[in-house]
Amino acid sequence: MERLTADQILSIVEQNYSVSEFAHGLWEKAESINFDSYSHNDKVGRRKHALATLGLGRVETVEIEDFYLTHFVDHDVYIKTQYFYSSYSGERFYDYGKEVRPVTKTITVYE
């Protein structure tokens, strides 16, 4: 599998998903992919098929405080999507598609 850059990955994502679908990892929602050989209830199979068809490989998505972090494992690319939630309007996404890298920091706390 060819390693993709964050810009290449985001281009593929923007052509196939809404920001909400991307942030929540709803890969089986891609309308451009033929899922005829998969049951509608087979979300795992549909998800794997979509990711393989789009060339995105293995993906892990986690929610951390006020953002979603999507790690494209096979490409070693991390994409951060920030949001806020209100009971009136639900989730609102901003700062979509920012590439980030894990950074280890050491802190000193005095008690």
pLDDT digits (tens, 9 = 90+) for 35-58: 888 888 888 898 899 999 999 999
Going by pLDDT thresholds of 50, 70 and 90, the confidence category of residue 101 is very high
- pTM score of the predicted model: 0.82
The answer to whether the beta carbons of residues 83 and 23 sit under 8 Å apart is: yes
Query: 66: number of CA atoms within 13 Å, CB side?
Result: 9
pLDDT of residue 95: 75
